Amino acid sequence: MAQRRKKIIIIGGGLAGLSAAMKICESNAEVVIVAYQSLKRSHSVCAQGGINAAIDSRGEGDSPDRHFYDTIKGGDFLAEQPLARDMCYKAPSIIRLMDRMGVAFNRTREGHLAFRRFGGTLYSRTAFAGATTGQQLVYSLDEQVRKYEHDGMVQKMEWHEYLGAVLDSKGICRGAIIHNLRTNEIFTLAGDAVILATGGPSRVYANGSTASTVNTGAAATMAYMQGAKYANGEFIQIHPTAIPGRDKLRLMSESARGEGGRIWVPKKPGDNRDPLDIPEMERYYFLEERYPLFGNLVPRDVASREIYDVVYNQNLGIDGQPMVYLDLTHKSKEYLQDRLGGILDIYKKFTGDDPKLTPMKIFPAVHYSMGGLWTDYETDSEEMIEPKSPRNQMTSIQGLYAAGEADCHYHGANRLGANSLLSCIYTGLMIGPGVLSYAKNVSKSKEDIPSSVFEDAKSYWTGRFKSISKMNGSENPYQLHRDLGEMMMANVLIVRDNKTLDRAYNSISDFETRFKDIKCVDSNDWANPTPSFINQLYCMIHLSKIITKGALLRDEFRGAHFKPEFDLNQPSDFDPHEYIHYQEQQNFGEVSGDAFPPSHLAYMKRFEENNKKWLKTTIAQFKDNQPNITYADVNTSLLTPRPRKYD
């Protein structure tokens, strides 16, 4: 008797979800893709600048090992090294795969793939399709999945929302609870495994984020509330270049700096002259002056802190406002249109100024979460990833997996630009064999699960949404969300301190109280987004607890988590290689007192002690309505952690 095909439920239709669907279907399994909106509108399309791979077409000496080193160093050594290495090793084959699928990558005159530089590296390793790389990748993967949809192996459920996992009596994931956003019907799907590829949580910062309205983090937060571990939530990436706007902030891609964009402010505070009338000698190119080696392409956490310092500590913001210039006017119009046309059109559309003719005004904005659901992985004796292990990308809930921005292990304390698209596609492709291995060997199949398990889950969520629709208090949910976002922007952003964080964490209980007094401003049964948004807001309140408490308890300065009080004050003339020599001396005997300058030796001892305490993954688990925080060791077996330096 022929066995039925395994059925995998994928939540999310972006790069991670589509690549997972393609890989799973290649192994003759069925897939249901559940997407909050049209797949071609998934947030992956908003990624503009490119995707990293060390192909070294320019002969600069780049390699996957250098890519791995830059990734680990950029993340301040908090990433899981076996996973990051495997991702960087697989990157060239991923680019070639996408190229064969028809992604319209830019090319050189000779017909080779073109590459640009991005932040945190000295090599040109970012492949790109103009300034719409994410969109081109999504469209190509969607095309591949459509082939399997035609063959009956893929079912797409667009405009449907994931509410939670169906868990059996042993806490094993057996399916998903789904909400039809048009009809408001709530139903369950049974599956052999569920993959969450639902993107990031940046909307917890409301309009201070570059993210789409769908990036609430609700799916991952609900998994956390059902028992999954949430890791490194405090590490929120602030992108240094966003377009200020009254409604929200919009991304200005790092590719603008990769193509020669220069960040500067007038040297004179309050200088209100037209930027083109300000002579070169009166401009302060602060990134180039402070970081001559990397210049405007320092990692994002470094650039954001420097912009913050120039604007708020030196009072050099444009016209006294929180803005600096990003200047491309020294490049030809033809060159800019070919390389950056898409993003420059966005700037012109929303500001009225043409960045080909006048410098852009930009400021940092919340952009990405390095943290997410904790996921497992398995390695062999040489720390290489076991490609078919059912543990790969599984959350702490058996049968529930996570991929893309929804997981936590690849970027550490700060993500390098153009590694996000890579990690999404990599985890999607990597997750497939392991998920199917799990589905084939799990003790009970979905047919063996009592129907009451699914009926109880449906009953709970049906009742919850009925209760939400009947809420008739005085609080507008959309205003409450804006207030939550403003609180997070004011207290849990670039510069952090414990007094402010403690106050912020305590204030979240006020938001919980206000939430109970919400009015469901629309109670219609058809195509009504309000009950869904109220449920998402409930998740965002809990997510704000994870972020804030994690930031409060982590008393150090690492990557995007900047607490000036705990800055180790690296000497300006310090060379990170000194720390390697310092450790070698420790391994072979005592450290010679005269081998290093006294200030360097004292700094290295501080760095060493700090790593013993804080080079760990933050683990949040839901307990008594609060995140219970513990810490887990990071796998640093491949690269010795050392101080970061970019000048």
Assess whether 642 carries a catalytic annotation.
Answer: no
Q: Element (H or E) spanning 326, and its range?
A: strand 324-327
From 425, 375, 377, 376, select the one nearest 404 (Cα to Cα): 425
188 has which bridge partners? Answer: 177
Are 39 and 137 spatial neighbours (Cβ–Cβ below 8 Å)? no
In Å, how far from its chain's centre is CA 519?
32
Residues making up the chain, counted from first to last: 647
Spatial neighbors of 486 by CB under 8 A, at least 6 apart, are 206, 208
Spatial neighbors of 613 by CB under 8 A, at least 6 apart, are 556
3-state secondary structure 46-76: HCCCCEECCCCCCCCCCCHHHHHHHHHHHCC
Q: Element (H or E) spanning 175, and its range?
A: strand 173-180
Q: Is 507 exposed, middle or buried (0-12, 13-18, 19+ CB in 10 A)?
A: middle
DSSP code of 112?
Answer: P
CA dist., res. 340 & res. 242, Å (int): 15
Q: Element (H or E) spanning 193, and its range?
A: strand 193-196
Are 611 and 55 spatial neighbours (Cβ–Cβ below 8 Å)? no
Encoded amino acid at 411, one letter:
H
CA dist., res. 622 & res. 223, Å (int): 10
Q: Element (H or E) spanning 368, and its range?
A: strand 360-369
Q: Which of 203, 262, 300, 514 is catalytic?
A: 300
Distances (CA, A) of 197 to 1, 135, 369: 34, 17, 14
From 262, 360, 362, 309, select the one nearest 494 (Cα to Cα): 309
Alpha helices in 119-247 (DSSP H): 133-150, 218-225
- Per residue in 24-60, is it b (16+ CB within 10 Å) or e — as a string? bbeeebbbbbbbbbebebbbbbbbbbbbbbbbbbeee
CA dist., res. 219 & res. 395, Å (int): 13
9 has which bridge partners? Answer: 32, 194
CA dist., res. 429 & res. 30, Å (int): 16
CA dist., res. 553 & res. 619, Å (int): 12
Distances (CA, A) of 19 to 26, 123, 223, 274, 442: 11, 27, 22, 47, 23
Distances (CA, A) of 281 to 268, 284, 297, 548, 595: 11, 8, 22, 43, 42
CA dist., res. 605 & res. 114, Å (int): 44
Q: Is 216 helix (H, G, I), strand (E, B) or coil?
A: coil
Are 343 and 131 spatial neighbours (Cβ–Cβ below 8 Å)? yes
Are 51 and 421 spatial neighbours (Cβ–Cβ below 8 Å)? yes
Catalytic residue list: 300
